[in-house]
A and B are shown apart, each in its own frame.
Chain A
Amino acid sequence: MAQSKSSEARTGWLLISPPALVTLLLLAAPLATVLVYSVLTGSRGAVSLPFSAENYYNIFRSSDGNILDLIFSGEWGAIPAALTKAPYLLVAGRALFVALLVTLATVVLAYPIAYFVSFHVQPSKKALWLFLITIPFWTSYIIRVALWRTILGYDGIVDSSLMGLGLMDGQLNILSYGVTSIIITLAHAYAPFAVLPVFVSLEKVDRSLLEAGQDLGESKFRTFLRVTLPLSMPGVIAAVLIVFIPTVGDYVTPELIGGGKVPMISNFVEVELLKRRNFAMGSALAASAMIVVAVISLIFILMNRRFLGGRK
C-alpha cells in the first residue's frame, strides 16, 4: 500500500488512543493516586502532607510492639510471638498461604484434564470439550460461591446426604473449616483458567518426541515425566499465575464462605477504606498487596523464562 511508515504509525496511534486514554484515566491514574496516598499522612476521610512512610511502618505493627522495631533492635527472640499478634502481617501471610494452596490444588486438579483433552480426545471434539469446561465459568460467580455455601454448610447438601445414607451420624459442616471450603470453592471457580493454558502448551508438544522417547526404551510414564511434563511447564506456570493473582485479591469467597472468619487482604482494605475511612492506610495496604503480587508474579515469569530458555 502506498502508505508511508510514519503515516501508518500515526493512524495506528490515532486508533489506539481512545482505549489507551480510557485505561490511562481509569487505571493508571487511580493506581498512581494509591501510591501517592500511601505515603501521605492519613486522618479520617482525608489525606494531607507531609510525606511519610508511617503507613507502611504500621503494617508491621503488633500488640507486642512494631516488628520492624524488634528487628532493628535485634530482639529476634520476640519476633515469633509478636508475629501472631500482628493483624496485617497475619492476614497477609494467611492470604498468601491460602492463595498458594488454592493455586496448587487448582492446577494439580486441572492438569490431567488438559492432558486428557490434548492427548486422548479426537481433534474434532476438542473444541466441544473446552467449551464444556468453560461454561461453568460464565455463570454468575456470586451464585456459584453461594451455592458452595449451601452445599458445604451446616445441614447442607453434603451433610444431609451423608447422614441420609447412614454414612455419618453427626454434622460434618465442612464450611466451618474456613480454609478447606475456600479452597474447594476457588478451585472450582478458577478451573478453566488453569485448564486452558496447560492445554495450549500440551497442544504444542511435538508428538514425535514422545514416540522417540518410547522407541528408545523409556516407559510411557517416564516419557511423560522427562518429555511431556517439562515441555508443558510454560503452560503450568501461566496457569499458576492466572489462578494465583485473582485469588490473593479475592473478596467474595472469604465473605460468603469463610463467613468473615477468614478475612483476606481485600476484606482488610475494605475495612480500612470504607469503615475507618483511612485512605492513606488503605492505600498503603492496597499498594503492599500489589507489590507482593507483582514480586511473586515476577518470580514465576523468570522461572518461565528459564524453562523457555532451556528449550531453545
Chain B
Amino acid sequence: MNRAPGLKTYAVIYLLFLYGPILILPLFAFNDASIVAFPLAGFTTKWFAEMWADPNLWKALKNSLIIALSTATLSTVLGIFAARSSVRYKWPGKPVVMGFIMLPLVLPEMIVAMSLLIVLLGIGINLSIFTVIMGHVLMCTPFAVAILTSAFQSLDRSLEEAALDLGESAASTFRLIILPLVMPGILSSFLITFTISIDEFIVANFLGSGQPILSVYIFGQFRFPAKVPSMLALGTILVGVSVVLLAIAEYFRRRGIARTGGKDTGGFL
C-alpha cells in the first residue's frame, strides 16, 4: 500500500509549506538583527526582553484572558445544552434549529461582526470587552456543539437507563454518570474555544472599540517594521502555548473516546 514516492514527496513539501512560517517564527525571534532576512546574524534574547517590557502587552493579555475564559466557559455550557438535547432527545424541528446554531461557522466572520456592530451602535450599547465576549460566544458555540455532540454520541444509553432503574434521579444520573463520561469532551471543547477566542481578530477589533486585546495589539504592532522582531518573539510564545493546549485537548478527546469504547475518527472538525 505504501508505493507512491511522488505523492509522499509532495506530502512532505506540503507539510513544509504548512509549517514553514511557524518554523520561521522562533528562528527570527532569536536572531540578532532588526531586519527579518537571511543570513542569520547571531543569537539574542533581546526581542523577548523588549516584548516583555511593553506595558501595553500586559494590558492586552489581561483583557484577552478575561475574554477567552468567559467565552470558553459560556460557549462550552451552551454546547452541552445543545449537544445533550440533539443527541438524547427527539423533538420536532431539530435539523432546522441545529443548523441555525451552527450557522456562524459558515457565515463570513466580517458579516457577523458588522451586523452585531450595527445593532449595538443602534441600541446605544457602549463597546467594551463584554461586547467582544458576545461576539466570541456566538462564533465559538458551533465548535463546542460539534465537539460535544461527538462526545455525547459515544455515550452508551444503557448506562443511563441502568442508573435510573437503580433509583437515581435524572439530575443525579446526569451528574454521576453522564458528566464524568463526557468530561474529556468538555475539557477539549473548553480548550479549543479558548484558543479560538485568544486568536480571533475581527470581532475583537470591531466590537472592542480600540480596547487593547492581544490579537488587535499584534495587528497594530506589525505595522511598524521596528516592532516585527519582538512580535515574532511574542508569536513564538503564543504558538507554543496554542500547540500545548491543543495537544492536551486532543489527549482528552482521545481518552474520552477510549473510555466510552468508541473508534477514533481523528481530527477536530
Report yes or no: A20 in contact with B91, Cβ–Cβ below 8 A. Answer: no
Q: Pick the residue among A20, A138, A149 that contacts B242 (CB under 8 A).
A: A138
Q: Pick the residue among A19, A143, A191, A192 that contacts B145 (CB under 8 A).
A: A19
The smallest beta-carbon distance between B9 and chain A, in angstroms, is 10
List residues of chain B with CB within 8 A of the CB of A119: 1, 4
Cα–Cα distance between A297 and B242 once the two chains are bound (Å): 32
With known contacts A30-B115, A116-B7, A157–B37 Cβ distance under 8 A: yes
Interface assignment of B125: CB less than 8 Å from any CB of chain A = no
Report yes or no: B24 in contact with A151, Cβ–Cβ below 8 A. Answer: yes
Cα–Cα distance between A126 and B1 once the two chains are bound (Å): 14
Interface assignment of A100: CB less than 8 Å from any CB of chain B = no
Cα–Cα distance between A8 and B121 once the two chains are bound (Å): 41
Report yes or no: B141 in contact with A23, Cβ–Cβ below 8 A. Answer: yes
List residues of chain A with CB within 8 A of the CB of B88: 12
Say which one of B14-22, B50-58, B65-73, B181-189 lies at the interface with A.
B14-22
Interface centre among A19, A144, A241 (most CB of B within 10 A): A19
Interface assignment of B154: CB less than 8 Å from any CB of chain A = no
Cα–Cα distance between A136 and B161 once the two chains are bound (Å): 42
Q: In the complex, what residue of chain A is closest to B157 when comparing beta carbons? A: A1
With known contacts A196-B269, A251-B110, A269-B114, A19–B141 Cβ distance under 8 A: yes
Report yes or no: B115 in contact with A149, Cβ–Cβ below 8 A. Answer: no
Interface assignment of A164: CB less than 8 Å from any CB of chain B = yes
Report yes or no: B118 in contact with A188, Cβ–Cβ below 8 A. Answer: no
Report yes or no: B90 in contact with A196, Cβ–Cβ below 8 A. Answer: no
Say which one of A56-64, A78-86, A283-291 lies at the interface with B.
A283-291
The smallest beta-carbon distance between B221 and chain A, in angstroms, is 9
Interface residues of chain A: helix, strand, loop or mixed (majority): helix
Number of interface residues of A (CB under 8 A): 91
The smallest beta-carbon distance between B6 and chain A, in angstroms, is 9
The smallest beta-carbon distance between A253 and chain B, in angstroms, is 11
Cα–Cα distance between A22 and B144 once the two chains are bound (Å): 14
The smallest beta-carbon distance between A295 and chain B, in angstroms, is 14
Q: In the complex, what residue of chain B is closest to A280 when comparing beta carbons? A: B118
Report yes or no: B239 in contact with A140, Cβ–Cβ below 8 A. Answer: yes
List residues of chain A with CB within 8 A of the CB of B63: none
List residues of chain A with CB within 8 A of the CB of B222: 142, 146, 149, 256
Interface assignment of B218: CB less than 8 Å from any CB of chain A = yes
List residues of chain B with CB within 8 A of the CB of A192: 269
The smallest beta-carbon distance between B253 and chain A, in angstroms, is 10
Interface assignment of A273: CB less than 8 Å from any CB of chain B = yes
List residues of chain B with CB within 8 A of the CB of A256: 219, 222
Residues 192-204 of chain B, each 1 if its beta carbon lies under 8 Å from chain A, else 0: 1001001111100
Cα–Cα distance between A270 and B201 once the two chains are bound (Å): 14
Number of interface residues of B (CB under 8 A): 92
Residues 35-47 of chain A, each 1 if its beta carbon lies under 8 Å from chain B, else 0: 0010000000000
Q: In the complex, what residue of chain A is closest to B39 when comparing beta carbons? A: A164
List residues of chain A with CB within 8 A of the CB of B264: 127
Report yes or no: A283 in contact with B118, Cβ–Cβ below 8 A. Answer: yes
Q: Pick the residue among A127, A130, A133, A139 that contacts B238 (CB under 8 A).
A: A139
Q: Pick the residue among A131, A143, A265, A297 that contacts B266 (CB under 8 A).
A: A131
Q: In the complex, what residue of chain A is closest to B121 when comparing beta carbons? A: A279
Report yes or no: A16 in contact with B38, Cβ–Cβ below 8 A. Answer: no
Cα–Cα distance between A11 and B269 once the two chains are bound (Å): 28
Report yes or no: B108 in contact with A266, Cβ–Cβ below 8 A. Answer: yes
Say which one of A107-115, A211-219, A225-233, A302-310 lies at the interface with B.
A107-115
Cα–Cα distance between A252 and B200 once the two chains are bound (Å): 11
Report yes or no: A113 in contact with B10, Cβ–Cβ below 8 A. Answer: yes
List residues of chain B with CB within 8 A of the CB of A48: none
With known contacts A139-B22, A141-B199, A289–B108 Cβ distance under 8 A: yes
List residues of chain B with CB within 8 A of the CB of A120: 1-4, 7-8
Cα–Cα distance between A15 and B108 once the two chains are bound (Å): 28
Report yes or no: A19 in contact with B138, Cβ–Cβ below 8 A. Answer: no
The smallest beta-carbon distance between B109 and chain A, in angstroms, is 6
Report yes or no: B118 in contact with A273, Cβ–Cβ below 8 A. Answer: yes
Report yes or no: B37 in contact with A155, Cβ–Cβ below 8 A. Answer: yes
The smallest beta-carbon distance between A297 and chain B, in angstroms, is 8
Q: Pick the residue among B8, B116, B192, B202 that contacts A251 (CB under 8 A).
A: B202
Q: Pick the residue among B84, B106, B121 that contacts A245 (CB under 8 A).
A: B106
With known contacts A160-B37, A273-B117, A286-B115, A9–B91 Cβ distance under 8 A: yes
Interface assignment of B146: CB less than 8 Å from any CB of chain A = no
Residues 124-156 of chain B, each 1 if its beta carbon lies under 8 Å from chain A, else 0: 000000000011011001000100000000000
Instruction: List 12 other contacts, CB 8 Å, given A16-B82, A140-B218, A146-B231.
Output: A9-B92, A28-B100, A37-B118, A116-B8, A136-B18, A139-B239, A146-B228, A151-B21, A151-B24, A155-B37, A256-B219, A290-B107
15 contacts between A and B (CB under 8 A): A1-B164, A9-B89, A13-B85, A26-B138, A30-B112, A113-B14, A120-B1, A126-B266, A132-B15, A140-B199, A141-B201, A156-B37, A249-B110, A250-B108, A289-B111
